[in-house]
């Protein structure tokens, strides 16, 4: 697998996203995955508001969230079935604004994929819209997929056996978030100005039809649920 992050000009609010990506990818190979940071997807949709103060920011976070818990450092929120800080609202590299998450990252990924499949006559092409997340009890952030298109994001091992012929019962691999983390590592989190990347030779199963809910787990079934409920 090979990942190449692309340095670009600064993307401005309401710029045309397709034209921007096309400028840096005059060609794309079959069986590639195009990676785009969610920040420029959101900017293309005009999803930003001027930062005024913490009180108004908190109001926006609550409006953007399905569930909210205030903590010492951030608001822990659930949005679109995902746990995240501050409903994913970002102040970094925002020039005094608050950048909200894209309206529909899965829809944006599908639209971008359709355009480039048509333009370059591709059959197997994936697109990932990335963001960053903190993991419980781990310092630092990792990449995560907000939306994707063109391939299966979950690899299932149930019904197969390990090297000692022991059958897997629950084992699944979160393919798309693993790819997002690898890409975001190359793209950077600071002033690198690399909001785009391309991944080649990717071990995924490409598909026209995909299940955007394949990664979601009912909060009652979450593996770490009992642990967090016991914390005082």
Summarize pLDDT for 190-205 with one digit per residue, the tens: 999 999 999 999 989 9
Of 53-62, 170-179, 181-190, the range with the lowest mean pLDDT is: 170-179
Count of CB atoms situated within 10 Å of the CB of 229: 7
Q: What are the CB-based long-range contacts (under 8 Å, 24+) for 70-74?
A: none
Average of per-residue pLDDT across 160-177: 83
Q: CA-to-CA distance for 147 and 38, rounded, in angstroms? A: 9
User: How confident is residue 48, by pLDDT bands cut at 50, 70 and 90?
Assistant: very high
Residue 218 lies in a domain: no
Q: Coil, helix or strand for 9?
A: coil
- Residues 167, 122 share a domain: yes
- Residues 18, 109 share a domain: yes
- Residues 11, 88 share a domain: no
Comparing CA positions, the residue from 181, 223, 219, 202 lying closest to residue 69 is 219
So what's the pLDDT on residue 131?
97
Residue 60's domain comprises 48-100
Residue 217 lies in a domain: no
Q: How many CA atoms lie within 13 A of 116 on its CB side?
A: 30
Residue 148 has which token pair?
């994707």
User: How confident is residue 161, by pLDDT bands cut at 50, 70 and 90?
Assistant: confident
Residue 17 has pLDDT above 60, yes or no: yes
Encode pLDDT of 22-45 as tens digits: 999 999 999 999 999 999 999 999
Residue 231 has pLDDT above 60, yes or no: no
Average of per-residue pLDDT across 53-64: 95
Are residues 40 and 194 in contact, defined by beta-carbon separation less than 8 angstroms? no
Per the structure, the count of domains in the chain is 2
Q: Collect all residues with Cβ–Cβ distance below 8 Å to 102 and sequence separation of at least 6.
A: 38, 41, 42, 45, 47, 108, 129, 146, 147
- Residues 91, 20 share a domain: no
- Residues 58, 30 share a domain: no
Residue 214 has pLDDT above 90, yes or no: yes
- Residues 23, 63 share a domain: no
So what's the pLDDT on residue 230?
63
- Token look-up 């798309």 returns 176
Encode pLDDT of 74-128 as tens digits: 999 999 889 999 999 999 888 899 999 999 999 999 999 999 999 999 999 999 9
- Residues 194, 108 share a domain: yes
Check residues 106 and 223 and name the one with the higher pLDDT: 106
So what's the pLDDT on residue 228?
67
User: How confident is residue 163, by pLDDT bands cut at 50, 70 and 90?
Assistant: confident
- Residues 162, 52 share a domain: no
Q: CA-to-CA distance for 93 and 13, rounded, in angstroms? A: 12
Please spell the DSSP secondary structure of 28-56, one letter per residue: --SSEEEEEEHHHHHHHTT-EEE---HHH
Encode pLDDT of 66-75 as tens digits: 999 999 999 9
Encode pLDDT of 116-152 as tens digits: 999 999 999 999 999 999 998 899 999 999 999 999 9
- Residues 41, 55 share a domain: no
The alpha helices in the chain, defined as continuous H runs, are 17-24, 38-44, 54-64, 105-119, 175-187, 225-230
| CATH code for the domain of 171 | 3.30.1330.100
């Amino acid at each position: 697998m090979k990942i190449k992050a692309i340095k670009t000009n600064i993307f401005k609010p309401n710029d045309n996203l397709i034209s921007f990506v096309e400028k840096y990818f005059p060609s794309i190979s079959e069986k590639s995955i195009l990676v785009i940071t969610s920040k420029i997807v959101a900017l293309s949709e005009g999803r930003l508001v001027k930062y005024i103060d913490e009180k108004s920011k908190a109001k926006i976070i609550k409006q953007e969230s399905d569930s909210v818990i205030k903590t010492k450092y951030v608001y822990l929120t659930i949005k679109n079935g995902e746990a995240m800080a501050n409903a994913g609202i970002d102040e970094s590299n925002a020039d005094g604004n608050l950048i909200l998450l894209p309206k529909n990252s899965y829809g944006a990924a599908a639209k971008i994929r359709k355009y480039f499949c048509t333009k370059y006559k591709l059959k197997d092409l994936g697109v990932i819209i990335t963001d960053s997340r903190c993991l419980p009890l781990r310092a630092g952030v990792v990449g995560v997929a907000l939306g994707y298109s063109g391939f299966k994001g979950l690899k299932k091992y149930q019904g197969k056996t390990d090297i000692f012929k022991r059958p897997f019962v629950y084992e699944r691999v979160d393919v798309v978030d693993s790819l997002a983390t690898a890409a975001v590592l190359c793209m950077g989190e600071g002033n690198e100005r690399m909001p785009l990347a391309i991944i080649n030779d990717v071990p995924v199963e490409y598909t026209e039809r995909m299940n955007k809910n394949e990664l979601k787990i009912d909060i009652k079934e979450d593996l770490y649920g009992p642990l967090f409920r016991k914390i005082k």
